[in-house]
Amino acid sequence: MIEVGTVLDEKVFYLDRALLKAYADASGDQNPIHQNEEFAVSVGLPNVIAHGMLTMALVGKYVSDFAGGSANVLEYSARFIKPVIVPLGEKVDLTVTATVAEIADGKFSLSLSATSAGVKVLGMAKAVVNK
Amino acid sequence: MLNPDSVGSTFAGTDSVTLSQSEIDAFCAVIGESDTTIAPPTFTIRITLTQFEEILTRPEIGLDWSRLVHGDQKFEIFSPVKAGDNLTCAATIESYRVAAGNEIVSVRSDLHRDGKLVISAWSTLVVRA
């Protein structure tokens, strides 16, 4: 029984440099901070970072799965508070959970949690879905 | 610096865009989505960010795209989009402020299909000092 306050099952996505390249091609965002370590460091980043929108797309997949498909996602928002750092040759986690915040008229509001290496990467992440 | 006179204005994107199945397939593959009959909820960032760049870097607006980071993002989806949909994009600069030398711009994009609003998306973009 899903009710207000229910915590949904955790899902872990894994990100590596190949996924960042695939997302760059799929989204059209070829900013070198997401692919080129030398460039990323030169602009003050610790290493290559994932696109915030890749993080949001993966969490969006979690939301779609809960909703029974992308067509049921009505609203989705997030703030990018910390980067997901993706060193060469590593697979880093993106760990996602959600709490049901409200149920009204068949619509579920989710409060989403997304962390990588134990650090919260999305803030104020919310979705409203039909289910 | 962004031209403050542009705040509150709406700018039409250059062209309408027809979504192809292959671009939806590629986006779905990245996130592990097996249902490719509908675009995933954040897919249209592919259209709006490209259009924002084109619009916001016009000389009369003057945003420096090279120092841009994404602050936050919101989607409202009134009708999901799919391959074959022909979309037009309009961008409205909703707010602009400078804090500690960073420029903070909020932009809303409205995507229409056959004249009907299907997705509104809000992006906060930060140009680092």
Which tens digits make up the pLDDT trace of A47-100? 999 999 999 999 999 999 999 999 999 999 999 999 999 999 999 999 999 999
- Residue-level pLDDT at B14: 65
Long-range pairs for B16-22: beta carbons < 8 A, 24 or more residues apart? B16/B86, B16/B87, B16/B88, B17/B47, B17/B86, B17/B87, B17/B88, B17/B89, B18/B84, B18/B85, B18/B86, B18/B87, B19/B81, B19/B82, B19/B83, B19/B84, B19/B85, B19/B87, B20/B83, B21/B83, B21/B84
Which tens digits make up the pLDDT trace of A31-60? 899 999 999 999 889 999 999 999 999 999
| A24 pLDDT above the threshold of 70 | yes
Average of pLDDT values for A99-110?
Answer: 96
Question: pLDDT tens string for chain B (129 positions)?
Answer: 778 788 888 887 767 899 999 999 999 999 999 999 999 999 999 998 888 888 888 888 888 887 788 999 999 999 999 999 999 999 999 999 999 989 999 999 999 999 999 999 999 999 887
CB B77 within 8 A of CB B16: no
Least confident of A22-26, A121-125, B17-21, B45-49: B45-49
Q: How far is B128 from chain A (nearest CA, A)?
A: 11
CA angle B84/B25/A49 to nearest 5° reads 125
Residue type at position B79 = S
ipTM (interface predicted TM): 0.96
Q: Is residue B34 within 8 angstroms of chain A, CB to CB?
A: no
Cβ contact (<8 Å) for B70 and A25?
A: no
Place of tokens 């039909």: A130
Return the residue of B nearest to A59 by Cα.
B31
Give the integer Cα–Cα distance in Å for B96 and A11. Answer: 37
Give the integer Cα–Cα distance in Å for B39 and B57. Answer: 28
**Which candidate in B64, B75, B79, B120 is best for mutational testing of the A interface (most A CBs within 10 A)?**
B75
DSSP B84-101: T-EEEEEEEEEEEEEETT
Q: In chain A, which residues have their Cβ closer than 8 Å to the Cβ of B40?
A: 57, 60-61, 64, 70
- Residue-level pLDDT at B86: 96
DSSP B108-127: EEEEEETTEEEEEEEEEEEE
- Residue-level pLDDT at A50: 97
- Residue-level pLDDT at A10: 98
Q: What is the value of pTM for the model shown?
A: 0.95
- Residue-level pLDDT at B123: 95
- Residue-level pLDDT at B74: 98
Return the residue of B nearest to A19 by Cα.
B30
**Which candidate in A70, A84, A107, A128 is best for mutational testing of the B interface (most B CBs within 10 A)?**
A70
